[in-house]
Structure 1
Amino acid sequence: MNNITTRIIKSDSTDPWYNLALEEALLEDVKKGEAILYLWQNSDTVVIGRNQNPWKECDHKKLESEGGKLARRLSGGGAVYHDIGNLNFTFITDRKIFDIQRQLSVILEAVKSLGINACFSGRNDILAEDRKFSGNAYYYRDNKAYHHGTILIDSDFGRLTRYLTVSPEKMAAKGVDSVRSRVVNLKNLNSSLTIDAVSQQLEKSFTAEYASEPAACSPSDFDISDLYIKYSSWEWIYGEAPKFDISIEKRFPWGGVEFCMTLLNGKISSAKVYSDSLNVFLFSRIEEALHGCEFKLDVLANAIASVPFDDAEEDMVADMQAWLNEKSRTL
């Protein structure tokens, strides 16, 4: 199918709240049969996934005291550090032509053209020489979708490790003992690389893949004032401060979960489920199902099993149910 129209847009801002607002504006604007490549950079930022707990994922006080910003994106997945040594990309498409493998091929071909062999690995990583230089996440809305990720080119790993607080369970699941040991800057593999060189190759690879001359597009074409208010707001980034009576957590192959609950007369009066899973929407449905439940783990397991879920979520629901049932038998 080669009737795809394309656009390429590059942000001239390094403000994460601006760039995430523009990303959502592009998602709203993408046309039927269209693919957009959006390139952007953030300055000294930790970006957390849609369902993550900001108080556990990073040292936000240190980040902000040193002039950085905390941001929350629409997609799921884990926390990442962005600086101007990192290039971010987003593929925004009509849902019918959304193709993760095709989009990944744009990245892989661009990197290959710069003399670096890379491959996709696991649930969302791109590797070179067995180390990660790109994390990817996905978001779907009605008949539109986006796939975005990072490309580490010359990022400051000192700041990355200073701000991110990765759980020991997550590191053990990755089979490594530190964040720094499992990531690599592409400049370490090709010392001549620059952000501009990678950006240009991505544009060339995107244009070649979709065999379409991209239309002109500028950030100034979009009014993102309302979206900027959203992405910069305390409510979006932090939400309510967690004052829960009890929390339990577990890491699964698809990601970690933390159930935080407030109890009243032995029943759950409020619940928040944090996760770095790539799934975005399942956990809000679980929160609703837990509300009003008697606080017994087998009751919680049954409540989770009653939540409407699709085929992609079936194993996740089964894993959480089995974990809670097992935990209820051992307490």
Structure 2
Amino acid sequence: MLVSQWGHAVRQAKNHIYVSLSRDPIFNLAVEHFLFQETPADSRVLLLYVNRPCVVIGKNQNPWLQADLAALRRNRVDIVRRRSGGGAVFHDTGNVNYSVKCSSSEFTRDKHAVMVTEALREFTDRARVNERHDIVLDQGLPIPNIELDQEGPLGMLKTRYSTTDPRRPSLKVSGSAFKISQGKSLHHGTCLLASENIGSISQYLRSPARPFFRAYGSESLPSPVTNILDDELDSDKVSQSIERFKLSVIRRFAQLYGIDPKISSLFENDDASKDQFLRGEDWIAGYVSEVAKTPEIEQGMEELKSDQWRYGTTPRFILSSHPKLINDRQTAPTLPSWFPSDAHVHVRVKQGFIMEVDLSLPPDKGKAAQQLSELASNVNGRFVERIASFSSLLRGTPPQDEANAVVKWLDLMLGKKISK
């Protein structure tokens, strides 16, 4: 079946397996959405893809709160908002993403995590599905004289390693997000096989503004992470292991849903054509590239990469240099030593727009207070992401030190470029 026929055929087949050749997170998420929307309600779909470095946040999350936007920009790491809920995750070329769609009547939250864990057991016997439906590697010592059923769903929920030693916590290798709509379910997850950025993930997912935010929407629950593959493996062996993992997931998906085993044959042959799809009696399989864009996929990409989607759908929030304390046990966050002790910042944002802003110093600070007041009037009502930096908008010759310090802090909190 030719690529040009694929967009129509997906609306008819019951079973689908695809591997994306693109590293573009916008394209891959658009394909995922297209398959979720356009395949029959009772169909089963597996999509595997690998993205270039990016942070993907949940539909109801705040990018300024969930990520260090300045660090992402410095390192050319994309930030993308997906259409499902869940927390923020980091992707790179050592991370394989899986997406499974099935009818809601066939869906359970552990079902496909178990499927992926079975594939991971070919690399390590420490992998299991935890109570949050994530996949972790147990780090404890072996439990003596333990007998476990290593096969089947229940065998994927435990390992023979201790989980009670606080010095050896289980480490996360795969997180999940879910979407259920109109009788369809979607489960997509990450799988950290060999991320070269494993040491930077916590930095990218830690916003310096967090202590100063009062926000609505979903927050991520941070967990310590690790790679599945040995860090000592060379690049060729890593690539081979990643392909082996993909093929194992494909085979287990076909087995799980009783699909003709021939469906995996396309992915077992390195010489297989990547510009067409194979089609059986009730299935389609193939490699997806940007050549296969349908009008729906193109429209989805335009939406996903728009500032309105990435930032304008953010739940309302308040950034304050002196946030209100919720209770007596809470302590005020520490401001930088260079932040003026008598300054105050209060910014209220709704749908990405500044709805209220107070940048103030006491009147006796003269020019500095005036410069901040004029800046506040200038930025009120503007879309935050379309402001390159607040420092660049500070008027007055010369800008006063106290005004510079306040605006520098605001730039730091909202991930803007800091003027030298």
Alignment TM class, shorter chain as reference: 0.5 to 0.7
Alpha-carbon distance between aligned partners in 2 of 1:207 and 1:115, rounded to the nearest angstrom: 22
Larger Rg: 2
Other-structure match for 1:62: 71
Q: How many residues align?
A: 243
Other-structure match for 1:208: 255
Q: Aligned to 2:227, which of 172, 185, 190?
A: 185
Other-structure match for 1:108: 117
Once the two structures are superposed, the pairs formed by residues 128-277 of structure 1 within 5 Å of their partners are: 128-129=137-138, 130-155=170-195, 156-165=197-206, 182-188=224-230, 191=233, 194-213=241-260, 214=263, 215-219=284-288, 220=292, 222-223=294-295, 224-239=297-312, 244=318
Are residues 58 and 212 of structure 1, via their aligned partners in 2, closer, same or farther at CA, if it must alter by over 3 Å?
same
| Cα pair 2:19 2:287 within 8 Å, conserved | yes
Query: Are residues 1:38 and 2:52 paired?
Result: no
Other-structure match for 2:81: 72
Are residues 118 and 73 of structure 1, via their aligned partners in 2, closer, same or farther at CA, if it must alter by over 3 Å?
same
| Deviation digits for residues 40-95 of structure 1 (CA, Å, limit 9, x no counterpart) | 11111000111111011111222123221000111222111100010000001122
Are residues 243 and 48 of structure 1, via their aligned partners in 2, closer, same or farther at CA, if it must alter by over 3 Å?
closer
Whichever structure has more strand as a proportion of its residues is: 1
Are residues 203 and 249 of structure 1, via their aligned partners in 2, closer, same or farther at CA, if it must alter by over 3 Å?
farther
Query: Are residues 1:20 and 2:29 paired?
Result: yes
| Cα pair 2:110 2:133 within 8 Å, conserved | no
Structure 1 residue 99, shift from structure 2 partner: 2.9
| Deviation digits for residues 243-279 of structure 1 (CA, Å, limit 9, x no counterpart) | 74887799xxxxxxxxx9969xxxxxx9xxxxxxxxx
Alpha-carbon distance between aligned partners in 2 of 1:92 and 1:190, rounded to the nearest angstrom: 35
> What is the Cα-based RMSD across aligned positions, in Å?
3.2
Which letter maps to 1:148? H
Alpha-carbon distance between aligned partners in 2 of 1:116 and 1:190, rounded to the nearest angstrom: 19
Alpha-carbon distance between aligned partners in 1 of 2:61 and 2:24, rounded to the nearest angstrom: 21
Are residues 212 and 225 of structure 1, via their aligned partners in 2, closer, same or farther at CA, if it must alter by over 3 Å?
same
Structure 1 residue 218, shift from structure 2 partner: 4.5
| Cα pair 2:102 2:186 within 8 Å, conserved | yes
Structure 1 residue 136, shift from structure 2 partner: 0.7
Unaligned runs of 5+ in 2: 1-12, 139-169, 212-220, 264-283, 327-345, 350-354, 356-420
Alpha-carbon distance between aligned partners in 2 of 1:32 and 1:153, rounded to the nearest angstrom: 32
Whichever structure has more helix as a proportion of its residues is: 1
TM-score, normalised with respect to structure 1: 0.65
Alpha-carbon distance between aligned partners in 2 of 1:34 and 1:221, rounded to the nearest angstrom: 21
Mean CA deviation greater in 211-220 or 58-67: 211-220
Unaligned runs of 5+ in 1: 169-177, 251-259, 264-269, 271-331
Structure 1 residue 133, shift from structure 2 partner: 0.4
